Structure 1
Amino acid sequence: MVFLNCLAGLSRRVLLLTAATCVAMLAFGAYLQHGLGLEPCPMCIVQRYALLLVAITTGIASLREGRGWQMGWSVAGLLAADFGAFTAARQSWLQWYPPEVATCGRDFYGMIENYPISRALPMIFRGSGDCTAIDWTFLGGSIANWSFVAFASFSVVLTALLVALLRRNSRVTAS
């Protein structure tokens, strides 16, 4: 209970720290791509977009003090973090249990340009040969594994912040 009260009092800082962490992760992804020459697969690109959405929504949420403002943008950030976690979990699953026939398939932009979104999204989540490749590891985990840990952490932080803000709102209205 004390933790939630403290979290509600520091909501702008928590949101700003979340946005800054996302920006740092995007910069690290750019380093992996441009510095080390690792090409992102379609699922990696979707995770980058989810990370960018978390950064934007939590950054906007940190701009104002209003609880309604922070809660609305935090919910949007939570949805983006959950979507990113789902994508990273799916890619991790494909890396652990690769399909028997792994084809490289189309690149992300080729799928989006040549197919309607209703066909392109299932193709992205089906994965391809390059989505199952593990090109880089840290402490035994692939990029997808660490991405899942990060997105799950953002989800936990944003959920705790929302609970803290809701409790604070209910206490203010009850007084």
Structure 2
Amino acid sequence: MSLACSRFIFLLVFLAAALTMGASLFLEYGVGLEPCLLCQAQRGFLLGICLVNLMGYVHGPRRAGMWVYSIASMLLALGGAASALRQVLMQRLAPEQLMFCQPDLASIWRDLSLNEIFSMIYRGNDVCAHISWTVLDLSIPELSLLAFVGLSIAGGFQVVSSIYYRKPRAHATRSSSKY
């Protein structure tokens, strides 16, 4: 895979993640949907994907750098997919199996340790399980899961192509000396 092709894929992944982030911000500020803690975690993963792929595009790395950026992008996308999958599974649970009255993110950051924060976010609550908006009969977490799976596939493609990246061969030049 050539360097120009890898930069183009970094740009495509950045644009896809930025559009997904823009859609989530539109749903919050334009439509008025309030994001839950898992939605905010997914936005964090999206922001990370945007930053990593933008840096990969601007930097234009060779094989090792391309591998590092691709692994980081793929791991962030897999983390986002895990968050979205957790929220999709929570939407399938009965309401009595969910935790109620979870505090807001600011008080969580102030009062709890990092381990307790992750535990509380992924435990979820009734707000995370509420389906408030659908498109083509898919809820927002299901659409988010599809986006993260697509971004994971793109990151995986970049990882594989960085492993098999070969420097273009220089054409052999004839020597100008005569016999």
TM-score, normalised by the number of residues in structure 2: 0.86
Tell me what 1:163 maps to: 160
Helix, strand or coil for the counterpart of 1:100? helix
The Cα of 1:110 is off from its aligned counterpart by 2.2
Which amino acid counterpart does residue 147 of structure 1 have in structure 2? S
Count of residue pairs the alignment pairs up: 167
Cα distance in 1, alignment partners of residues 9 and 133 from structure 2: 30
> CA, structure 1 residues 120+81, in 2 after alignment: closer, same or farther (shift >3 Å)?
same
Percent identity of equivalent pairs: 28
Tell me what 2:5 maps to: 10
Aligned ranges 1:121-140 → 2 under 5 Å: 121-140=118-137
Cα distance in 2, alignment partners of residues 159 and 101 from structure 1: 35
Tell me what 2:173 maps to: none
Which portions of structure 1, spanning 4 or more consecutive aligned residues, are displaced by more than 4 angstroms?
169-172
Unaligned 5+ segments in structure 1 are none
The Cα of 1:24 is off from its aligned counterpart by 1.2
2:78 corresponds to 1:82:
yes
Aligned-CA RMSD value: 1.9
Candidates 33, 36, 43, aligned match of 2:31:
36
Unaligned 5+ segments in structure 2 are 170-179
Assess if the C-alpha contact under 8 Å between 1:98 and 1:132 holds in 2.
Answer: no
2:45 corresponds to 1:71:
no
Assess if the C-alpha contact under 8 Å between 2:20 and 2:147 holds in 1.
Answer: no
Which has a greater percent of helix? 1
